[in-house]
Amino acid sequence: MTKVIGLTGGIGSGKTTIANYFAELGVPVYIADDGARVVMQLDHVIKEVKDVFGESVFENDVLNRAKLAEIVFNDKEKLAKLNAIVHPAVKKDFEVWLLQHKNYDYIIYEAAILFESGRYKECDYIITVTAPEEIRIERVLKRDNTTPAQVLSRIKMQWKDEDRISRSNFVINNVNLKIAKEEVVKILKILDIKQNQS
């Protein structure tokens, strides 16, 4: 049976870069954020979002993700409401994807909020990607049109690294990409050994 390897880390930790490297090495990768983008276009999800957040987060019937993010990342209650709509839909999307990859020994499920959403319970192993806060902020500022204060507020909404690490099987410190990639290769070797033993 295909093993699910959860891959997580805070905003700006570079977990998507690490996920892409797993993919380069031949491991199928499901990116939960991409799954969320897909399900957010489904009629029943759009209807639920409109019911909870109103028409103001839509422009010509297209969801304004930036506007929605601004609302939910400043309000834990609204974030929980959005997650209650999106997570079940992403879960179904992932289950279909997993069936399409059932011939692989293991796959990567990449999600920023793997622990917060409870999805970690469905993973066989968990990898946490870390980086110092100042590096994470710098990366997000380069990537997104945002401010340091906005990045910090998103960091505060997520679990702390030490909480993630305490529940993880592997940790990749992603400051130097060459060293981080070497860690990926080591993890794959360990997973291969575990797979052959099972």
2 known member of a binding site: no
Pairing relation of β-strands 58-59 and 62-63?
Answer: antiparallel
Q: Locate the DSSP E strands across 55-147.
A: 58-59, 62-63, 106-110, 125-130
16 known member of a binding site: yes
Between CA 6 and CA 4 the distance in angstroms is: 6
15 known member of a binding site: yes
Between CA 26 and CA 92 the distance in angstroms is: 24
56 known member of a binding site: no
Tell me the chain's radius of gyration from C-alpha atoms.
Answer: 17
Q: Could you identify the residue written with the tokens 């994470």? A: 136
Q: Which of 151, 168, 77, 34 is nearest to 114 (CA)?
A: 168
Feature table: binding site: 12-17
**Binding site residue list for ATP:** 12-17
